[in-house]
Structure 1
Amino acid sequence: MAVASRRRLGSLLALAVALLSLLAGPAAATGKTGQVTVFWGRNKAEGSLREACDTGTYTFVIISFLSVFGHGKTSLDLSGHPTGPIGADIKHCQSKSILVFLSIGGSGGQYSLPSAQAATDLADHLWFAYLAGHRSGVHRPFGDAELDGIDLFIDQGPPDHYDVLAARLWSYNKDFRGRTPAQLSATPRCRYPDPRLERALATGVITRINVRFYGDGYCAANWQAEWDKWTAAYPNSGVYVGLPASEQVVGYVHPKNLYYGVVPVVQKAANYGGIMIWERYADKQNNYSSYAIQWA
């Protein structure tokens, strides 16, 4: 009896350690991580998802956006990209150990979560239509390809119920061992805190945070102070420096300044995750990621 009890206790402790390491994993990163994230799906001229993954300069791709949700209807806006080939492209990227997420939200105004039930319904839709869930009668825009997770890019509307959404999505992982099919990231504005995502981040289940240090003159001037706030607030999440690849966007950092001014500062944080680039089309024009991948 005592031996059996010790074995059960050992199994429970091993499971607890595994779960804690899963949640705290990104915080172990110090110095170079080699992680470069890019948003894809914002311009048809950016090329295919497969082409993006074949550049060798991205380790993480976020498809954007599921831009309509929360009121009984969902819709993708991929800037004219046909959805047909994307499933095979997702699998191709994953075969190269590149994670692929779907981002929800964006700059449009056709989304919100008016109730907790709306959040639960959206989580279920994402699970069965895009992630590892499969249910008869549910259309999967990318076929049988299973995305690795969901990104929250909530830039419009009220902040309500995104915490319910995050918790519901994360709850699907309890039935899996050895992998996390419903991973979560968030892409907040740089001024801390971002009120639209604050409650979702407080759940503790969002393990990647891509902070947008662009599109805001204040952030361009005070990025280091804001970076320190984000990394201090979420020690168990990997925090990524979000930068634009286009010189036309406020917050652009020249590669020389990236190397000498930004990278030495951000890599001091224990939970530095890497660099996030906005977005694939601009990066294709300027090849910004070729510098980022060297120094990330």
Structure 2
Amino acid sequence: MVYNNPSCQYDQTNVDATPLLQSLDAWTSSVPPELSIVFWGLPAAPDAAPGGGYIPPNDLISKVLPHIEETCSTHSCGGFMLWDRFHDIESNYSNQVKHWDEQSACRFVTQVSKASLGSVSTT
């Protein structure tokens, strides 16, 4: 995903996914589906992307992921990752979106997060 780049990121001020979705469509239309595997990177908290682009979990589920699901029907979707595990622990982001993930063709990358959980201190 695009963040820290105002012209093509989610606009949290106006609760508008249009710039992000237009950027996604432009990017995926320029890459032949048979040559692409799309991985998505999301900031897990506003502090993880101080330049902007954080998408609140409810907005991600209702406004962005349905569009991405359509994209996954034509391009291989490799999965999602959150930046970064520290912010994910603090915000509980992955737990807020995991129910969508369980029903989707797209998957959040969790194995690295699980492996690194023991090495992250939340105190």
Helix, strand or coil: the match of 1:240?
Answer: strand
Aligned mates of 1:294, 1:233 — CA distance in 2: 31
Aligned mates of 2:66, 2:76 — CA distance in 1: 11
- Alignment equivalent of 2:4, drawn from 194, 209, 215: 215
Aligned mates of 2:98, 2:45 — CA distance in 1: 17
Per-residue deviation, residues 21-63 of structure 1 (Å, max 9, x unmatched): xxxxxxxxxxxxxxxxxxxxxxxxxxxxxxxxxxxxxxxxxxx
- Alignment equivalent of 1:254, drawn from 56, 66, 70: 56
Helix, strand or coil: the match of 1:241?
Answer: strand
**Which one has the bigger strand percentage?**
1
- Higher RCO, 1 or 2 (CA under 8 Å, sep at least 6)? 2
Per-residue deviation, residues 187-242 of structure 1 (Å, max 9, x unmatched): xxxxxxxxxxxxxxxxxxxxxxxxx4211222224111111122222312221232
Instruction: Spell out the pairing of 1:58-77 with structure 2 (5 A cutoff).
Output: none
Instruction: Spell out the pairing of 1:198-237 with structure 2 (5 A cutoff).
Output: 212-220=1-9, 221=11, 222-234=19-31, 235=33, 236-237=35-36
Aligned length: 85
Structure 1 residues 272 and 251: alpha-carbon distance in aligned structure 2, compared to 1, 3 A threshold? farther
Deviation at 1:264, TM superposition (A): 0.6
Instruction: Spell out the pairing of 1:1-296 with structure 2 (5 A cutoff).
Output: 212-220=1-9, 221=11, 222-234=19-31, 235=33, 236-248=35-47, 249=49, 250-269=52-71, 270-271=74-75, 273=77, 274-296=79-101
Aligned mates of 1:259, 1:239 — CA distance in 2: 18
Using the size of structure 2 for normalisation, the TM-score is 0.60
Deviation at 1:293, TM superposition (A): 2.9
Structure 2: which 5+ residue stretches go unaligned? Answer: 12-18, 102-123
Deviation at 1:291, TM superposition (A): 2.8
Helix, strand or coil: the match of 2:46?
Answer: coil
Deviation at 1:272, TM superposition (A): 5.1
Structure 1 residues 223 and 272: alpha-carbon distance in aligned structure 2, compared to 1, 3 A threshold? farther
1:217–1:251 contact (8 Å) kept in structure 2: yes
Q: What's the counterpart of residue 97 of structure 1?
A: none
Larger radius of gyration: 1
1:230–1:239 contact (8 Å) kept in structure 2: no
Structure 1 residues 283 and 214: alpha-carbon distance in aligned structure 2, compared to 1, 3 A threshold? same
Using the size of structure 1 for normalisation, the TM-score is 0.27
Structure 1: which 5+ residue stretches go unaligned? Answer: 1-211
Structure 1 residues 233 and 258: alpha-carbon distance in aligned structure 2, compared to 1, 3 A threshold? same
Structure 1 residues 238 and 225: alpha-carbon distance in aligned structure 2, compared to 1, 3 A threshold? same
